[in-house]
Amino acid sequence: MLSALETEALLLSLKVGLASTALCLPFALVTAWLLARTRFPGRALFDGIVHAPLVLPPVVIGYLLLISLGTRAPLGAWLKQTFGLQLIFTTQGVVVAAAVMSFPLMVRAIRLSLEAVDRGLELAARTLGATRLDAFCSVTLPLMLPGILSGSMMAFAASLGEFGATITFASNIEGETRTLPLAIYTATQTPDGDAVALRLVGLSMALAIGAIATSEWLHRRAQHWLGRP
């Protein structure tokens, strides 16, 4: 059985995973569209910035968040003074850190799905009188569904395992920012914490495998719904 603190870390991780995935989705859709369907100066640089969290050390991303969204940073100070929103050392900060780290995974999945859409179907909808927005909502968006679903689940799974950016930007505060990875780290630094760490590691593995399996299942179901083999 999990202790109260372990259950708290689990529930916080699930909350952060869901919130960060919801936060990423609209931005990921727009970014994937820009990368797949448009050409503009600096596109390669923009693509590199979007995918930078995949290759940069997570602690670097956490530090960049710290100096840009901390209470002494211009943007962070403005958010606090204008909206009363403090991200550093808060659950909201954990959500932001997880969203930034998982964002490229969602963008990549949606972009690949968008690039696979037959543009002839969109043109056919336009010739039948549909506006650009109508064609997107009725044709493009449903055909992108497999990528959206699988990308969202992969982003959710990545959020559950985020550690480096979180501990750098939001710290390791019990009940506020201590997600499962941070709880495992804390247990390994505690005398006689091996049993707790082992339970949490097993739980993290089960969640990750479950999320990946769900992603594959959702992808297949969406493909079947669209009539694809």
Tens digit of pLDDT per residue, the chain (229 long)?
778 888 999 999 999 999 999 999 999 999 999 999 889 899 999 999 999 999 999 999 999 999 999 888 889 899 988 888 899 999 999 999 999 999 999 999 999 989 888 878 878 888 887 788 888 888 888 888 888 988 999 999 999 999 999 999 999 999 899 999 999 999 999 888 899 999 999 999 999 899 888 888 887 887 777 666 5
Owning domain of residue 53:
4-225
Distance between CA 2 and CA 13 in Å, rounded? 15
Please tell me the total count of domains within the chain.
Answer: 1
- For the four alpha carbons of 5, 8, 14 and 20, in that order, the dihedral sign comes to negative
CATH number at residue 19: 1.10.3720.10
pTM recorded for the entire structure = 0.90
Q: What are the φ and ψ backbone dihedral angles of 38, each rounded to 5 degrees?
A: -125, 160
